[in-house]
C-alpha cells in the first residue's frame, strides 16, 4: 500500500491526529442528536515509566499535551511502572520506579486519577509475603486508590474499576460477588464505564493473546444488565482495538509507552510503535444520554 493510501486508510492528517472508532452502535440519525457532553476523560494505559530512554521527560510532555484537551480527570489503565514483577527485580529498583511515577505525575496533581492494577506493577520477589512492599496492597497505596477494585459515580455515570490480575487475567471469586452486587445496585438506564487492565473482549488478541480468560462470564453478566449502557476500556496488549458485542462497546486504547519507550523492532510500523499501533492516549467524551466518543491520539515524544 502506498503511503498516501495508507494515510487515507488510517484517517491521518497533518498535525495532532486522532484515530477514532465509532462512537456507539446508534444509528446515524441518533448520533446526530447528541445531548450535552457531561465529562471528558483522558484514558492513559501502559505508561511503563522508568528512568531509562528519557521516559520521564517524554511522559511529562505527553501529560502537558493531554491537559490541552481540557479533561475532567484521568483514568489510568495499569502497568504504570516498568516491570516490578520479574524474579530479578530488587527492592531498590521498585522504589526507583515508583519515585519516577510520583515525580512525573506531579504535573497533573490538580486532576483526579483513578487507576487500576497492571500485571507488571506488583513486586512478587519480596523476601516474604508479609513484606509491606509485596504484592497488590503496596501498589494500591502507591496509586492512591481505595482498593484493588472499586466503583464511583460522576455526573450520572457509574465507573467500575476492576483487578484483572488473578490467575493470568481474570476476576477472583470475591471480586465477582462484588461486581454482581455493584451492577445490581445501579438503576436501569445508568451509563457505565468499566476499566480493566486486560481486555475483556478484543478482536486483536489473536495476535498475542491477552483477553480476560473469564470473558464469557463477564460478557454474560453485562448481558444480564443490558438495561444499563456499558462501555469497557482496557490496555495490556499495547494494541489499538475496538469490538462490540451485545451492545457493549470494548475499547483497547494502545499504550502510552508504545514499544516500552524504545524505538521498536522489525515488526514496528513506525518509531516506538508496537506492531501497527503508535504510542498514544485516548480522549473520551461522555454524554448525558449514554453516548461515548473514544478517540485515540498518537504522540511523537
**Beta strands 292-298 and 280-287: pairing type?**
antiparallel
Rounded Cα distance between 179 and 175, Å, is 6
Q: 137 vs 210, which has greater pLDDT?
A: 137
pLDDT of 163 strictly over 80: yes
Identify the weakest region by mean pLDDT among 13-17, 136-140, 194-198, 277-281: 13-17
Between 21 and 281, the higher pLDDT residue: 281
**42-73 residue pLDDT tens:** 999 999 999 999 999 999 999 999 999 999 99
Q: For the segment 215-266, what is each residue's pLDDT rounded down to a tens digit?
A: 999 999 999 999 999 999 999 999 999 999 999 999 999 999 999 999 999 9
- If you average pLDDT over residues 142-152, what whole number do you get? 98
User: Which string of DSSP letters, residue by residue, matches the chain?
Assistant: --HHHHHHHHT--SSS--EE--S-SS-HHHHTT---EEEEEEEE----B-SGGGHHHHHHHHHHHHHTT--SEEEE-S--BS---STT--HHHHHHHHHHHHHHHGGGTTSEEEE---TTS-----SSTTSTTSHHHHHHHHHT-SSSSEEEEETTEEEEE----SSSS---HHHHHHHHHHHHTSPTT-EEEEE-SS-SS-STHHHH--S-TTHHHHHHHHHHTTTSEEEEEE-SS--EEEEEETTEEEEEE--TTTTTTS---TT-SSTT-BTTBPSEEEEEEEETTS-EEEEEEE---
Average pLDDT, the chain: 90
Read off the pLDDT band of 16 (50, 70, 90): very low
Q: What is the pLDDT of residue 204?
A: 81
How far is CA 98 from its chain centroid?
Answer: 19
Taking 80 as the threshold, does the pLDDT of residue 105 lie above it? Answer: yes
What's the pLDDT at 258? Answer: 98
User: What is the structure's pLDDT at 35?
Assistant: 77
Quote the pLDDT of residue 25.
35
Question: Is the pLDDT assigned to residue 158 strictly greater than 80?
Answer: yes
CA 45, 145, 70: angle at the middle one, nearest 5?
Answer: 55
State the pLDDT at residue 78. Answer: 97
pLDDT bucket at 207, cuts 50 / 70 / 90: low
Average pLDDT, integer, range 92-110: 97
Which pLDDT score, from 0 to 100, does residue 263 have?
A: 97
Confidence (pLDDT) at 18:
64
Q: Is residue 8's pLDDT more than 70? A: no
User: Does pLDDT of 23 surpass 80?
Assistant: no
CATH of domain 37-298: 3.60.21.10
236 by Cβ neighbours in 10 Å (0-12 / 13-18 / 19+) ranks as buried
Residue holding cell 460477588? 177
Which pLDDT belongs to residue 261? 98
From 125-134, 154-163, 197-206, 282-291, the region with the lowest mean pLDDT: 197-206
Helix axes 55-67, 91-105, angle to 10 degrees: 30
Amino acid at each position: 500500500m502506498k503511503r498516501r493510501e495508507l494515510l487515507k486508510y488510517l484517517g491521518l492528517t497533518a498535525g495532532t491526529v486522532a484515530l477514532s472508532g465509532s462512537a456507539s452502535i446508534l444509528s446515524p440519525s441518533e448520533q446526530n442528536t447528541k445531548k450535552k457532553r457531561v465529562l471528558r476523560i483522558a484514558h492513559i494505559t501502559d505508561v511503563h515509566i522508568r528512568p531509562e530512554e528519557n521516559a520521564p521527560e517524554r511522559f511529562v510532555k505527553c501529560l502537558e499535551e493531554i491537559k490541552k484537551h481540557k479533561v475532567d480527570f484521568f483514568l489510568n489503565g495499569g502497568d504504570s511502572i516498568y516491570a516490578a514483577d520479574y524474579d530479578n527485580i530488587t527492592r531498590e529498583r521498585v522504589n526507583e520506579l515508583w519515585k519516577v511515577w510520583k515525580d512525573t505525575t506531579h504535573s497533573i496533581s490538580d486532576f483526579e486519577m483513578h487507576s487500576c492494577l497492571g500485571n507488571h506493577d506488583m513486586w512478587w520477589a519480596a523476601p516474604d509475603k508479609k513484606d509491606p512492599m509485596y504484592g497488590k496492597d503496596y501498589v494500591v497505596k502507591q496509586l492512591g486508590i481505595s482498593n484493588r477494585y472499586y466503583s464511583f459515580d460522576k455526573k450520572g455515570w457509574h465507573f467500575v474499576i476492576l483487578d484483572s490480575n488473578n490467575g493470568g487475567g481474570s476476576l477472583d471469586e470475591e471480586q465477582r460477588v462484588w461486581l454482581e452486587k455493584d451492577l445490581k445496585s445501579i438503576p436501569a438506564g445508568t451509563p457505565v464505564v468499566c476499566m480493566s487492565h486486560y481486555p475483556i473482549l478484543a478482536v486483536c488478541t489473536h495476535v498475542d493473546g491477552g483477553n480476560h480468560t473469564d470473558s464469557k462470564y463477564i460478557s454474560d453478566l453485562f448481558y444480564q444488565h443490558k438495561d444499563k449502557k456499558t462501555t469497557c476500556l482496557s490496555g495490556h496488549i499495547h494494541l489499538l482495538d475496538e469490538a462490540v458485542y451485545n451492545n457493549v462497546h470494548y475499547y483497547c486504547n494502545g499504550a502510552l509507552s508504545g514499544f516500552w519507550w524504545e524505538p521498536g523492532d522489525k515488526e514496528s510500523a513506525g518509531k516506538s510503535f508496537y506492531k501497527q499501533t503508535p504510542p498514544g492516549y485516548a480522549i473520551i467524551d461522555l454524554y448525558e444520554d449514554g453516548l461515548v466518543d473514544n478517540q485515540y491520539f498518537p504522540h511523537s515524544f
